[in-house]
Amino acid sequence: MREIEVRSMRPEDWKSVSRIYLEGIATEHATFQTDCPPYAAWDASHIRECRLVLLAGGVIAGWTALRRVDPRWCYRGVAEVSIYIGEKFRGHGLGYHLLTELCRQAEAAGYWTLQSTVLQDNAASRALHTKCGFRLVGRRERIARDCHGRWLDTYLMEYRAAADEPVGYKKL
């Protein structure tokens, strides 16, 4: 694989980020979403820090970001992971680099728990999360219908920071 770099996402990355998101949506294994929101809506729903892109040979090949799971103060250090790798870059281990860096930066920013909801048919995502230190917390049966009306299960995966109070938690 080409030289890789992980860096902070910039607003001007949105064209590539949204294209990769749409590729993930098209698989019908990555999300229940059926369309990509405009940048302003996406931006408003995601945490400012820990938005990352992975470049392979200078091309944005994947992205990851966090969103709060609950607005209440007691859950300020708990966030949900979104991670997507572009179609032509899948299967080369890039997700591992991206998710590992996300976990490192999230912990430095004070997040003590990251969670990810993985659709039942996405074995690659479950394997990636496990490789990066996430554990299976549970399976939610028939939790939602896909775009074809088929009931699907999801797996809840969780990553816990090494410390109960990571370095940056007082900033949250």
**Which residue is associated with the tokens 């996300």?**
102
pLDDT of residue 47: 95
Q: Which pLDDT does position 1 carry in this prediction?
A: 56
Q: State if pTM tops 0.95.
A: no
Give the separation between CA 172 and CA 166, rounded to whole angstroms. Answer: 11
- From first to last of the 172 residues of the chain, give the pLDDT tens digit: 579 999 999 999 999 999 999 999 888 788 888 788 999 999 999 999 999 999 999 999 999 999 999 999 999 999 999 999 999 999 999 999 999 999 999 999 999 999 999 999 999 999 999 999 999 999 999 998 888 999 999 999 999 998 887 877 777 7
CA distance 88 to 56: 11
pLDDT at 78: 96
Q: What is the DSSP string of 105-156?
A: HHHHTT--EEEEEEETT-HHHHHHHHHTT-EEEEEEEEEEE-TTS-EEEEEE
- The per-residue pLDDT for range 98-136, each reduced to its tens digit, is 999 999 999 999 999 999 999 999 999 999 999 999 999
- Amino acid at position 42, single letter: W
Q: How many residues does the chain have?
A: 172
